[in-house]
């Protein structure tokens, strides 16, 4: 059976994680990267990995920019540092200046920058890649990542401008795309522009995805095949070629232990 890696899923938010793991394994998902967004999700992902051997689960330790002012922020950093050796990446971290009320709030932006900088320090210290959430702050995220001396980074669900994308790629970083590549013109443009070898696929599960009835339903990692097929169509390559290329890219970025393809 062909196997695929979902490079971004949030199992702490999935209602029935065991059913999602089983269904994803049945469709050929061999590996799932689990970015944390707060203390609880970082703890949840480590416990989930301890309880399930297949698909292989790879926690990443992070505090999402949307949660930087939570009461548990300091506890989260203590926990992340203590368990960073068990992680394949630092993230999900970054900046989110998408909303007007955040853009208008200098204090909020400062808080996000400070938390992001702490993640970048951890990534350098532990020599780990960074999963970057850069919505509405693409240029500033790239500037912070490069000036921190980070060597590996995934600009997750990249939907930003092409000039920043060019510099992301020139710096040797990669982008990941979700099932949104089926319908988002921003994501499609990014995938058209980036070389296939610099693209990862993900679901951001349980991010909602459209189904034939017209509804939007929560995704599971098995839906990553939809992102792959859309990438192959945009790049004009076979699904097999796209699969081999995105899997190789994921293994290189995340240095996946025990990956056999
Ligand atoms: Zn995410």
- Ligand 1 mean position to 132 CA, how many Å? 9
pLDDT at 258: 62
Length of the chain: 261
- Structural contact between residues 145 and 132, judged by C-beta atoms closer than 8 angstroms: yes
N-terminal to C-terminal alpha carbon distance within the chain: 10
- Ligand 1 mean position to 35 CA, how many Å? 7
pLDDT at 69: 80
- Ligand 1 mean position to 159 CA, how many Å? 14
Q: pLDDT at residue 60 above 60? A: yes
Q: pLDDT at residue 74 above 70? A: yes
Main-chain phi, psi angles of 31, to 5 degrees? -145, 140
When pLDDT is averaged across residues 23-34 and rounded to a whole number, the result is 98
Give the residue from 96, 100, 99, 89 showing the smallest Cα distance to 138.
Answer: 96
When pLDDT is averaged across residues 13-30 and rounded to a whole number, the result is 97
When pLDDT is averaged across residues 138-165 and rounded to a whole number, the result is 98
pLDDT at 93: 98
Q: 209 vs 160, 162, 173, 235, 239, CA distance in Å?
A: 20, 25, 26, 22, 20
- Ligand 1 mean position to 33 CA, how many Å? 10
Q: pLDDT at residue 261 above 60? A: no
pTM here is 0.96
pLDDT at 71: 80
- Ligand 1 mean position to 242 CA, how many Å? 23
- Ligand 1 mean position to 105 CA, how many Å? 23
- Ligand 1 mean position to 236 CA, how many Å? 28
CATH of 4-254, one of 1.10.274.10, 1.20.200.10, 3.20.20.140, 3.30.1300.10: 3.20.20.140
- Ligand 1 mean position to 7 CA, how many Å? 10
CA 26 to chain centre: 22
Give the residue from 111, 115, 124 showing the smallest Cα distance to 153.
Answer: 124
Residue 81: band (very low, low, confident or very high) from pLDDT cuts 50, 70, 90: very high
Q: pLDDT at residue 252 above 60? A: yes
pLDDT at 117: 98
- Ligand 1 mean position to 131 CA, how many Å? 9
d(C-alpha 194, C-alpha 54), whole Å? 31
DSSP reduced 3-state for 215: coil
d(C-alpha 12, C-alpha 244), whole Å? 29
- Ligand 1 mean position to 9 CA, how many Å? 7
- Ligand 1 mean position to 243 CA, how many Å? 22
Q: Is 64 exposed, middle or buried (0-12, 13-18, 19+ CB in 10 A)?
A: buried
Q: Tell me the pLDDT of the chain averaged across its residues.
A: 96
Q: Which residues contact 86 (CB under 8 A, 6 or more apart)?
A: 46, 59
pLDDT at 22: 97
d(C-alpha 61, C-alpha 84), whole Å? 7
- Ligand 1 mean position to 179 CA, how many Å? 13
pLDDT at 259: 63
Give the residue from 201, 151, 207 showing the smallest Cα distance to 175.
Answer: 201
pLDDT at 98: 92
Give bridge partners of residue 153 from the DSSP assignment.
130
Residue 249: band (very low, low, confident or very high) from pLDDT cuts 50, 70, 90: very high
- Ligand 1 mean position to 202 CA, how many Å? 9
Q: 66 vs 94, 107, 201, 206, CA distance in Å?
A: 9, 13, 23, 17
pLDDT at 72: 85
- Ligand 1 mean position to 91 CA, how many Å? 9
- Domain positions in the chain: 4-254
- Ligand 1 mean position to 253 CA, how many Å? 17
Q: pLDDT at residue 180 above 90? A: yes
Q: What are the tens digits of pLDDT across the range 153-166?
A: 999 999 999 999 99
When pLDDT is averaged across residues 80-86 and rounded to a whole number, the result is 97
Give the residue from 168, 121, 169 showing the smallest Cα distance to 140.
Answer: 168
- Ligand 1 mean position to 10 CA, how many Å? 7
């Amino acid at each position: 059976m062909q196997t695929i890696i979902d490079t971004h899923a949030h199992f702490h938010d999935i209602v029935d994680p065991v059913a999602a793991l089983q269904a994803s394994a049945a469709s050929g998902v061999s590996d799932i990267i689990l970015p944390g967004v707060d203390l609880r999700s970082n703890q949840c992902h480590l416990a989930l990995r301890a309880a399930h051997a297949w698909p292989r689960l790879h926690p990443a330790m992070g505090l999402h920019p949307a949660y930087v002012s939570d009461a548990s922020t300091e506890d989260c950093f203590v926990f992340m540092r203590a368990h960073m050796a068990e992680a394949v990446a630092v993230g999900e971290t970054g900046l989110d200046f998408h909303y007007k009320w955040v853009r208008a709030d200098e204090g909020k932006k400062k808080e996000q920058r400070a938390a992001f900088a702490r993640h970048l320090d951890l990534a350098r210290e532990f020599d780990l890649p960074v999963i970057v959430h850069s919505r509405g702050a693409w240029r500033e995220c790239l500037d912070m990542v490069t000036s921190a001396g980070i060597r590996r980074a995934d600009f997750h669900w990249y939907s930003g401008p092409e000039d920043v994308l060019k510099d992301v790629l020139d710096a040797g970083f990669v982008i990941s795309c979700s099932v949104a590549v089926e319908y988002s013109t921003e994501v499609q443009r990014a995938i058209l522009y980036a070389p296939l070898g610099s693209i990862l696929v993900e679901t951001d599960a349980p991010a909602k995805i459209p189904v034939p009835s017209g509804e939007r339903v929560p995704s599971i990692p098995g839906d990553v095949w939809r992102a792959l097929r859309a990438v192959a169509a945009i790049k004009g390559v076979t699904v097999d070629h796209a699969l081999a290329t995105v899997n190789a890219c994921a293994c290189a970025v995340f240095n996946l232990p025990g990956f056999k393809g």
